[in-house]
């Protein structure tokens, strides 16, 4: 059975030392009481929850899966009790608005907790994760009456939330949805249609489920211009706000999937169900994007979380498994063979995973800090700058984190050899669970298109320029620091390449839009690698000043930074060559030639 130990030390390093988030967040309105001790206490208690409650039921939950009986979904053994403990501990309310019963703590703490939950039990994490996204959408777009009726129970964790977008004929292209909304009495609507792939569409963890449903009001314009958003509860609330009679919402079936088997993925039927408009008519997609963007960040963190737990177990196995002798002579002469860890290729796989994980963790927490700044900073210019950076980085987190998460869980499985392919060791589950993150909440190809077709161009190109200014400013600050040359020189090269390629790609894309589509996936990865280099250089800069490090933590951080700069960052050159080869290599193929 696999094990998990939350990376508290590294989370603390990123939060307190790299980002100085105590000062940054502590100056924001509403966060004045936050202290380093409080942050550490929350991380430590969250780690205990994940290590002792969620991780032990992860493998058993995968084996048992969800069950669909007589129209009802049952989660695996132990999930209901674990969810009750999770809710009673106040974890759903961590960063929620105190007006609705939340604790009002920074979103950054939720992000760090999210990683630990995904490492310990990604299927479990999807249930409260979707609820957090629904809370965010309702908080920004629902009427005061809907907020007061539904948010307190959702924040408490007594009620859950879902996101109902996809239909059998309408995946990425939501303009094709057929679900209808007919105006009824007293401002209500009757919702009819079928949604598929609905995470947590039905479950036995909460008293009620609040579905956020995209539908088209009778007579609405075609395409995405005629989509509205509705709140459709599983149970209609009574006069006291408690779940009352059943709404006309039912689960038709659950999917039998490759992974995340303890998370119910449902076909949901709405048969004249009572619903309530959220936001303006025909503006539902814009309202739903509040939740979708939240979920895209959360899905990226799934990749990080699974890569972290896979790494931990692969390292433990590589230390203990004896296999062959080192090419440079026996390292364990008293044993019949040396541990796997002595072999260069094993180290390549492990260090690749570690370098990506620690760099991704820095980007994730930095993004979360910017979310808090965008929500709470008193200066509109500071809010705008932070919001620009979050918008720019969101597709990188969703796509790159989930891509590398799948790549590295597979590498860690490879460390186990044949044992990694069998169920007992748990590695094959990590690989299966990681695969979906590249697909749902907008496939990674869609994320790449969002980056190159939208984020590079909106606001006259302001978003990437914000990030390029950060790169240029840090490089200039360190240009006379000779001890930082091994990190600043490759960062400078990557930054120059990325900025030059961005200008080239925008010009080519204006001439031929297919150039953007052809370059998108490679460009996103190149951008992500450059962002990782920026944070690895900063982490190396901090670690290099810790001369009296008795723990070895900072020395290891420096060694990992060197590995990233020397072995992983050079991918950017091949990616750039592929991008500059143009769209013709793809588009000149005739359909008959495939």
Q: Say if residues 523 and 400 touch (Cβ distance below 8 Å).
A: no
Which CATH code fits 8-141?
Answer: 1.10.540.10
3-state secondary structure of 199: strand
Name the one residue in this structure whose structure tokens are 């990694």.
Answer: 420
Q: Say if residues 151 and 163 touch (Cβ distance below 8 Å).
A: no
| The dihedral sign for the CA sequence 533, 535, 541, 546 | negative
| Equal CATH topology for 8-141 and 160-282 | no
The question of whether 441 is a catalytic residue gets the answer: yes
If we measure between CA atoms, which residue out of 526, 290, 297 comes closest to residue 393?
A: 297
Encoding tokens for residue 581? 């080869």
CATH number (3.30.460.10, 2.40.110.20, 2.60.40.10, 3.90.1150.10) of 160-282 reads: 2.40.110.20
Q: 114, 156, 308, 441: which one is catalytic?
A: 441
**pLDDT per position in the chain (594 positions), as tens?**
899 999 999 999 999 999 999 999 999 999 998 999 999 999 999 999 999 999 999 999 999 999 999 999 999 999 999 999 999 999 999 999 999 999 999 999 999 999 999 999 999 999 999 999 999 999 999 999 999 999 999 999 999 999 999 999 999 999 999 999 999 988 999 999 999 999 999 999 999 999 999 999 999 999 999 999 999 999 998 767 788 899 999 999 999 999 999 999 999 999 999 999 999 999 999 999 888 898 999 999 999 999 999 999 999 999 999 999 999 999 999 999 999 999 999 999 999 999 999 999 999 999 999 999 999 999 999 999 999 999 999 999 999 999 999 999 999 999 999 999 999 999 999 999 999 999 999 999 999 999 999 999 999 999 999 999 999 999 999 999 999 999 999 999 999 999 999 999 999 999 999 999 999 999 999 999 999 999 999 999 999 999 888 899 999 999 999 999 999 999 999 999 999 999 999 999 999 999
Cβ neighbours for 167, distance < 8 A, ≥ 6 positions apart: 176, 177, 178, 179, 193, 194, 195, 196
- DSSP letter string over 529-577? HHHHHHHHHHHHHHHTT-TT-SSSHHHHHHHHHHHIIIIITTHHHHHHH
Neighbouring-strand partners of residue 267: 253
Please give the angle made by the CA atoms of 110, 116 and 120, to the nearest 5 degrees: 140
- DSSP letter string over 266-277? EEEEEEEEEEEE
Torsion of CA 272, 278, 280, 285, to 10 degrees: -90
The structural domains of the chain, with segments of one domain joined by +, span: 8-141, 160-282, 443-594
């Amino acid at each position: 059975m696999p094990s998990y130990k939350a990376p508290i030390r590294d989370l603390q390093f990123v939060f307190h030392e790299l980002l100085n988030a105590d000062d940054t967040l502590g100056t924001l309105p509403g966060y004045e009481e936050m202290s380093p001790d409080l942050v550490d206490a929350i991380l430590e208690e969250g780690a205990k929850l994940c290590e002792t409650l969620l991780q032990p039921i992860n493998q058993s939950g995968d084996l048992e899966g969800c069950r669909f009986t007589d129209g009802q979904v049952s989660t695996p053994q132990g999930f209901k009790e674990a969810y009750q403990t999770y809710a009673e501990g106040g974890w759903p309310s961590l960063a929620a608005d105190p007006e609705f019963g939340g604790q009002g703590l920074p979103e950054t703490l939720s992000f760090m907790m999210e990683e630990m939950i995904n490492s310990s039990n990604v299927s479990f994490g999807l249930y409260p994760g979707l609820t957090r996204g629904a809370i965010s959408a309702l908080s920004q777009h629902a009427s005061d009456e809907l907020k007061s009726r539904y948010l307190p129970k959702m924040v408490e964790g007594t009620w859950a939330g879902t996101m109902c977008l996809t239909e059998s004929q309408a995946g990425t292209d939501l303009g094709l949805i057929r679900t209808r909304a007919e105006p009824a009495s007293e401002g209500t609507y009757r919702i009819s249609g079928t949604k598929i792939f609905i995470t947590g569409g039905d479950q036995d963890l909460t008293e009620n489920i609040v579905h956020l449903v995209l539908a088209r009001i009778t007579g609405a314009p075609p395409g995405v211009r005629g989509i509205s958003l509705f709140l459709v509860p599983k149970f209609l609330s009574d006069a006291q706000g408690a779940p009352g009679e059943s709404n006309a919402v039912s689960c038709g079936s659950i999917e039998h999937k490759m992974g995340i088997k303890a998370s119910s993925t449902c076909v949901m039927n709405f048969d004249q169900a009572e619903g309530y408009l959220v936001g303006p008519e025909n503006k539902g997609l814009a309202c739903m994007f509040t939740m979708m963007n939240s979920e895209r960040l959360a899905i990226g963190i799934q990749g990080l979380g699974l890569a972290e737990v896979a790494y931990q177990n692969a390292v433990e196995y590589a230390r203990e498994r004896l296999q062959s002798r080192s090419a440079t002579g026996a390292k364990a002469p008293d044993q019949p063979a040396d541990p796997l860890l002595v072999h260069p290729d094993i180290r390549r796989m492990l260090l690749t995973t570690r370098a990506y994980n620690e760099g991704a963790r820095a980007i994730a927490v930095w993004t979360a800090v910017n979310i808090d700044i965008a929500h709470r900073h008193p200066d509109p210019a500071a809010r705008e700058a932070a919001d620009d950076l979050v918008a720019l980085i969101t597709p990188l987190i969703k796509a790159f984190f989930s891509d590398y998460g799948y790549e590295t869980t597979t590498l860690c499985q490879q460390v186990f050899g044949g044992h990694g392919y069998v169920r007992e060791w748990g590695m094959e589950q990590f690989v299966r669970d990681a695969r979906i993150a590249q697909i749902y909440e907008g496939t990674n190809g869609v994320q790449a298109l969002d980056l190159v077709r939208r984020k590079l161009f909106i606001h006259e190109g302001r978003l990437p320029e914000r990030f390029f200014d950060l790169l240029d400013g840090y490089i200039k600050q360190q240009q006379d620091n000779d001890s930082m040359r091994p990190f600043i020189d490759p960062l400078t090269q990557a930054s120059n390449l990325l900025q030059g390629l961005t200008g080239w790609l925008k010009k080519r894309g204006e001439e031929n839009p297919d150039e953007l589509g052809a370059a998108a996936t490679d460009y996103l990865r190149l951008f992500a690698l450059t962002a990782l280099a920026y944070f690895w250089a900063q982490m190396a800069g901090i670690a290099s000043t810790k001369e009296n490090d008795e723990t070895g933590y900072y020395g290891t951080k420096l060694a990992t930074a060197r590995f990233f700069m020397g072995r992983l960052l050079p991918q950017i050159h091949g990616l750039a060559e592929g991008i500059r080869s143009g769209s013709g290599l793809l588009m000149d193929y005739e359909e008959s030639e495939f």
